[in-house]
Chains A and B, each alone.
Chain A
Amino acid sequence: MKALLLAAAALIAAPVSAQTIAITGGTVAIGDGSQPITGGTVVIRDGRVVAAGSGVAVPAGAQIVDATGKWVTPGIVAGIGSLGLVDVGGVQESNDSRARTSPFNAGLDVSTAINPHGVIIGNERAGGVTRAIVADDAAGSIFAGQGAIIDLGDDPDPITRPRAFQYVELGEGGADRAGGSRPAAYAMLFDAFAQAADFRRNPAGFDGRSTDSLLKRADAEALLPVLDGRMPLVVHVERASDIRQVLTLPRRYPGLKLILAGAAEGWMVAPEIAAARVPVMASAIADLPASFEQLAATESNVGRMTRAGITVGVLADGRGGEHGVTQFAGNLVAIARVPGATGLDWGQAFATITSKPAQVMGMDGEIGSLRAGRRADVVLWDGDPLELSSAPVSVLIDGRAQPMSSRQRRLRDRYLTPGETDLPKAYSR
């Protein structure tokens, strides 16, 4: 424990990105699907990973962090969620995750709203999340708007990639938002794309500002990079037949770069998804027929799709915070031992919450693993990061040591003993 505290102190004391750091002696998980390496070394310099693995030489003059007994991994890439957009979900004033009555949709840009100082960001960072995929929920339209990739660093600039993708609902949720049916959702999609093309041809003549215009100018403009394939289109669908339908879209719009989100029945159409080279963000634990579009949901979905050759990242869902994806990934390892289920091995499972979500978003050259050249988002854990008993002991983002305190930790410390003493609790901090 003492050594651990010293290690953390050394990281905090490190001057910003100026120095070479070598983290030695720990169990190193690269995050790229490979198995963990005992006694590995991770070298970082100027906020980037230089090398990681076994037999990595420690550069002369490097600051050494002894990680003996610890695990060293890339930070978690969590999402698709609302990190940075919400203080308290149920407190509307503090919640930017849904624009209920806005006339705009596809043009909404969440990167304008990320608050890096929120309590939840601090908690998730202390939980090992270093990057997040952030999107609004769709409200008055099938289009939710433009999502972002963010970092959780304790600094003023949280945006890794603004306008990283457009998010659209095309299953039951799309039907609901388009007026009551799936055909209505597709009509809205096709019309929006058609209007975007109109806008491109003749911006001056585009009616996107009258109150009865079906698509606002800002929304039409935001769809152009989607049509060009410069911005991926994340499509939320669950049902096998809906997935098949989505996979036909590129025939009509050859530029589209699709990403599937949800895909609870993806395993039923896995060969088609794989053939289309469409990556997926899926839940690891959804195993109930929660709706008529998820009748065939199973925990084996991620394993089966991965086995079919699809790039699959695990969605962060649940109310314990997005760092809970470690537990979900652990469950994918667990079911590998359940007869008839399809799980993942440890390396694959850890990749579903690190390099795979990064790869889904086209960001795996930058984040999500400890491969050379990646941003130095590094987490030291007191044990196997997928195991329920483990927690981070220090976190680096872009090579910078992060505070490990949080509001929740402060509450814990205040109430380690519940009774008041010589002063009210309000004086205890």
Chain B
Amino acid sequence: MAGRVSRGLVAAVAGAVALSACATDGKDDKPKSASAKAPAPGRNKGYAHDPFPSTYHAYPGVPTLVRNVTVYDGEGGRIERGAVLFAGGKVVAVGQTLEAPAGATVIDGTGKWVTPGIIDIHSHLGDYPSPQVEALSDGNEATDPVTADVWAEHSVWPQDPGFGRALANGGVTTLQILPGSANLFGGRSVVLKNVYARTMQGMKFPGAGYGLKMACGENPKRVYGGKNRKPSTRMGNVAVDRATWAKAVAYKRKWDKYEDSGGDAPDRDIAMDTLRGVLAGEIRVQNHCYRADEMAVVMDMAKEFGYKVTAFHHAVEAYKIGDLLKQNDTCAAVWADWYGFKMESYDGIGENLALLQKEGACAMIHSDDENGIQRLNQEVAKALASGRRAGIAITDEAAWEWLSFNPAKALGIADRTGSLKPGKMADVVLWNGNPLSVYSRPEKVWVDGALLYDANDPKRRPVSDFELGQPGEGDVK
């Protein structure tokens, strides 16, 4: 992953910084010469880029062959009465007929479907967990419109019961946790494997890059306007954004110079580290934005400062500018049919996803909701049906790209998950029927080849610490 350093390198960098401090602390009376300046640490090595590294590990699995199933490979491919083989945590083969290796578990999937695990690019599980009490409400650092210094992972409570529901009812195997949208710069996101762990680090998707949550529109101007602070208007939103990016450009210039040429290390600014990461292409911008006209402004602003918006989230008006999004290579992450709950969602329509697909723009479903994340397959089914009624022909298997491959691309992890291709993580769902039918549910869910949910085995159903010993513990939820 670009910009990522190993733990070994972190130690080396720390050592270099210490040396640099020694060389400039004034105890040596000799005058400094240009040739005596501290050596250049090298680009992106001036400070740790991964101070909270993933400790996730795949749980043990057994080689598994699921056959006689309808397979959606996640990249638009479909095989009737096909087979999927995975072993060692990875997809081994997908095909019409596959031989079971010795010792493999063989599952007859007649009448069932196999798909890649669902990826939700927009979730607040862990930072707005259940129960929704103030003491656990950690999603919005709504004390300043620019909080690029906060990291959602530092709010993630790994005991959120929502993770287990998303796995068992939703077939969700990967999710991005974002800060909320009160702020223009909400902070860093984190990508998690949907596998319970004692620590946030234990859930962190190994090697996944960070995102920066940004927000335009009503929320920032309402939150800060309500405090009689800037921004209180949409123009105020953009003004604060641009002022902040201008600082970030200068910060990046200073740090690039230091890392390339050495000398005195500039002061660290944790918020600016994140924005520098965006400008360097290391961190992806995930931008909450509803209205078409505002998305167009944001894309121009990105060009002004030399970054790219990876995806607009909640883009209920994306269908009005599918052509523009395509030109800018920017994705839209949307709900199927949410609309009307606030002014900027007034023009939401159920055909949004299908119209984007028709235009050739990158589109995907998202939840932003602890209930919706349990039914993203159903949301896609509704969006698909709306599109077909509007005369837009999209196959079921192509629509599955909205659930796994496109979000994987927008998270920069499509080389590792999001589709059933040999060598990729065996993040796999066996559905008890057509997953685009309201009547189907996950029967088994594997993450990295480990069976972590089995509808037929109560021992393969997670129960978070919070629910242990409470009414309803271990119930089928």
Contacts and interface: CB of A to CB of B under 8 A. Distances in A.
Interface of A: 88-91, 119-120, 123, 240, 265, 268, 285-292, 294-300, 318-321, 324, 327, 330-331, 333-335, 337-341, 386-391, 408, 411-412, 415-416, 418-419, 425
B405 to A, nearest CB: 21
A97 to B, nearest CB: 12
A320 B130 contact: no
A290 B355 CA distance: 35
- For the residues of B in contact with A, the DSSP-based class is loop
A390 B378 CA distance: 12
Nearest to A91: B343
A121 B12 CA distance: 64
A289 B161 contact: yes
A320 B338 contact: yes
Interface string B332-364: 000111111111001111110001000100000
A312 to B, nearest CB: 18
Contacts, number: 169
B477 A297 contact: yes
Contacts of A416: 355, 390-391
Nearest to B354: A412
A80 to B, nearest CB: 17
Q: How large is the interface on B (under 10, 10 to 19, 20 to 34, 35 or more residues)?
A: 35 or more
Contacts of B395: none
A297 B378 CA distance: 21
Nearest to B475: A298
Contact of A412 (B130, B374, B375, B390): B390
B378 A88 contact: no
Contacts of A419: 323
B33 interface: no
B438 A333 contact: yes
A290 B321 CA distance: 37
A268 B471 contact: yes
B439 A334 contact: yes
A239 to B, nearest CB: 9
Contacts of A386: 438
Given A90-B218, A327-B382, A120 B340 contact: yes
A320 B355 contact: no
Given A287-B374, A412-B351, A300 B475 contact: yes
B34 interface: no
A416 B477 CA distance: 40
A298 B472 contact: yes
Contacts of B162: 288
B165 interface: yes
10 contacts: A90-B342, A119-B340, A288-B165, A288-B477, A290-B370, A296-B475, A319-B341, A324-B337, A333-B438, A415-B319
B437 interface: yes
A298 B476 contact: yes
A387 to B, nearest CB: 6
Contact of B432 (A240, A299, A319, A337): A337
A300 B476 contact: yes
A328 B133 CA distance: 26
B381 interface: yes
Q: Which 6 A-B pairs have the closest CB atoms?
A: A296-B472, A330-B438, A90-B342, A388-B381, A296-B471, A340-B476
